[in-house]
Amino acid sequence: MKKFFEKCYKITKVYGLTVAGAVAVVGIIIYDRARQQPVYSSWTTNYDPSVKWDYNWDRRQPDNLVKPLKESATDEEKLKHLEKEEQNVSKATRHIIMIRHGQYFDTEKLDKDRKLTELGREQANMVGKRLAELNYPYTQLICSTMTRARETADIIHKHLPDLERKETDLLREGAPIPPEPPSGNWKPEAEFYSDGARIEAAFRKFFYRAGADQVNDSYEIMVCHANVIRYFVCRALQFPPEAWLRISLNHASITWVYIRPNGRVGIRTLGEAGFMPAKKVSVL
């Protein structure tokens, strides 16, 4: 009911109608929409999905960014409140292009020794060339502080030398959450407890819809690790996060997530490595 009257007040201001006229207009719109039944494919039974999309997943819905009205608010205060909400409406799409690091010496114990192999450096060079060929207006290159991610980002940056480059510990590899089904490889619970909080903090820091002040679509490159990317994909698509281990990603592959202004999230590519010759593709 509150939303109904807010629409009415907005119409009175925009179109110069009386309150009664605005009520009639909004009433007709609501009645017309009620007559339109959703269309389903004949094979589906998912008329009432078990998990519905949460549009306010990033807590950036316009009405979340404006101080709530008091119950005693006047008509004028309600109109001003609506105007403030409109000023906070997102207009652009954010594209987050995640790159897994190249193949590395994974049998080494210390991070400083877990450098890219010769193949890993070739893979990083190929993905850097691919990103340059795509020629999107990238805004930044951000990477994990682990050696293999840094080296991959360094090679990519040679293809995009004017791009701002940043590093963060938040994107370091780790164990985000106990997988379901269990992997069979035991890990101390403390690892999930500490790594999971950090990786979730990274998701909340980097995944959100564009602010109202962003006019153009943005393209950000993120170089990090398989577990981190897999967890981000599950969280962004609102899949069960415990499913992260069911996804496999090639080295130096591209995983592309986009976030629409209305809060919808989609994935354009997942672990794409088709720009590499088959003999150069690796997972482990």
Q: Is 253 left (phi over 0), alpha (psi -120 to 50) or beta?
A: beta
In this predicted model, what pLDDT tens digit does every residue of 196-217 receive, in sequence order? 999 999 999 999 999 999 999 9
Total count of residues recorded for the chain: 284
Residue 2 has pLDDT above 80, yes or no: no
Q: Does the structural domain 94-280 have CATH classification 3.20.20.70?
A: no
Round to whole Å and give the CA distance between 138 and 136.
6
Range from 39-53, 85-99, 177-191, 246-260 carrying the lowest mean pLDDT: 39-53
- Residue with the bigger pLDDT between 55 and 34: it is 55
Range list of H helices, the chain: 2-15, 19-35, 75-87, 118-134, 147-159, 189-206, 226-236
Residue 23 has pLDDT above 90, yes or no: no
Strands ordered across the beta sheet of 138-144: 165-168, 138-144, 218-224, 94-100, 254-259, 265-272
**Cα–Cα distances in Å, from 41 out to 38, 50, 53, 60, 142?**
10, 18, 19, 32, 42
* Residue 282 neighbours by CB under 8 Å, 6+ apart: 103, 119, 123, 250, 251
Q: Kindly state the average pLDDT of the residues 61-84.
A: 88
Residue 5 has pLDDT above 60, yes or no: no
In this predicted model, what pLDDT tens digit does every residue of 110-168 receive, in sequence order? 999 999 999 999 999 999 999 999 999 999 999 999 999 999 999 999 999 999 999 99
Domain boundaries, the chain: 2-87, 94-280
In this predicted model, what pLDDT tens digit does every residue of 253-282 receive, in sequence order? 999 999 999 999 999 999 999 999 999 999
- Residue with the bigger pLDDT between 3 and 225: it is 225
In this predicted model, what pLDDT tens digit does every residue of 45-56 receive, in sequence order? 666 777 889 999
Residue 24 has pLDDT above 90, yes or no: no
| Mean residue pLDDT across the chain | 88
In this predicted model, what pLDDT tens digit does every residue of 236-252 receive, in sequence order? 999 999 999 999 999 99
